[in-house]
A and B are shown apart, each in its own frame.
Chain A
Amino acid sequence: DQQVKQNSPSLSVQEGRISILNCDYTNSMFDYFLWYKKYPAEGPTFLISISSIKDKNEDGRFTVFLNKSAKHLSLHIVPSQPGDSAVYFCAASAWGNNRLAFGKGNQVVVIP
């Protein structure tokens, strides 16, 4: 049972434009959310996170928005750069639980 869902498996965007990645979750116990970025033949690297006490967290070009009532979060990348071309995984965890539940990932291609 997929607790974290990422629809629209791939996204193509022009360099300089905004990339928006969406993530939905079903488990109401989740209260911490993370985004990871993965290049081919490398391990995922942590990008940005947000806890449920916030609805927005920003780090440079990356902003994550959380809508708890809708059980939805999104990652905005502005402006998109060719180096952002990667697979992005959404992940969630609950307080006191060491496990992360991952979505299936979104492939982003930034066109120069």
Chain B
Amino acid sequence: DVKVTQSSRYLVKRTGEKVFLECVQDMDHENMFWYRQDPGLGLRLIYFSYDVKMKEKGDIPEGYSVSREKKERFSLILESASTNQTSMYLCASSSGRRGSYNEQFFGPGTRLTVL
């Protein structure tokens, strides 16, 4: 079974702090994604990566950056946390197999609160 793990389930940070959210997958997937989920807004894509050291902006990249130094690990960075970044953050991965549709597998999520 695919396993996607996230470094923290719950995190409380102060405004202005630098925040790192870590995600690790164990299925040798090429693609990794960061989403945030907010009530009434569904899942919104922040950034994704289709290869090591590659990244693409999603729909709401402002205020975030990412890092993918190893295939299995994808980090989301909040350079200076703000209260409007309080949210549930979800990491996902999928295979980059050509010639097929590739379902995304999600981690358990990190509930981040910025005070």
Given contacts A43-B90, A45-B106, A98 and B31 within 8 Å (CB-CB): yes
Number of A residues near B (Cβ < 8 Å) is 23
A41 and B43 contact, CB distance less than 8 A: no
Q: A51–B58 Cα gap in the complex (Å)?
A: 24
* A25-56 residues at the B interface, CB under 8 angstroms: 32, 34, 36, 41-46, 49, 51
Most chain A CB within 10 A, of B41, B43, B102, is at B43
Where the two chains meet, the residues of B that have a C-beta atom closer than 8 Å to any C-beta of A are 4, 9, 31, 33, 40-45, 48, 50, 58, 90, 92, 94, 96, 101-109, 111
A103 and B42 contact, CB distance less than 8 A: yes
Q: A49–B48 Cα gap in the complex (Å)?
A: 22
Q: Which residues of A contact B107 (CB under 8 A)?
A: 43
CB distance from B82 to the nearest CB of A (A): 23
Given contacts A89-B42, A98-B94, A43 and B108 within 8 Å (CB-CB): yes
